[in-house]
Each structure stands twice: as C-alpha cells, then as structure tokens.
Amino acid sequence: IRDSWGAGPRAELAAGMMKQKGRLLFLVPRPGRAAPLVAPVPVTPPK
C-alpha cells in the first residue's frame, strides 16, 4: 500500500478487495473523480 492510499480502514479495505477481486486498476483512487470501486464498464446516465 502506497502513501497515496492513505491510512486507516479504507486503505485496509481496498487492500483486501485487491486480494479478492484482483482488479487493481478499478480500485486505484482517482483524484477529483467519484467512480465506483468495482466498475468494469462506465456507468451511463439514463436518457
């Protein structure tokens, strides 16, 4: 876990999910972006 992950339960939860899901890219926090942790496809708003 890098420093960018921060510390605390959230970092530990993310690490646990990485081990279970194996989806590193989807679990990497993106600054200024509120995306779901596990989202294989982009969420499109309803028309």
For residues 6-33, b (16+ Cβ closer than 10 Å) or e, as one string? Answer: eeeeebeebeebeeeeeeeeebeeeeee
Q: How high is the pLDDT of residue 24? A: 52
Q: How many residues does the chain have?
A: 47
For the entire predicted model, the pTM comes to 0.22
Q: Quote the CA–CA distance of 25 and 4 in Å, as a whole number.
A: 14
Q: How high is the pLDDT of residue 7? A: 61
Q: How high is the pLDDT of residue 45? A: 67
Q: How high is the pLDDT of residue 42? A: 59
**Residue whose structure tokens are 């690490």:** 15
The stretches of the chain forming alpha helices (DSSP H) are: 9-21, 24-27
The whole-number mean pLDDT for each consecutive block of 10 residues of the chain, a chain of 47 residues, reads 57 64 54 55 65
**Residue whose structure tokens are 């989202």:** 39
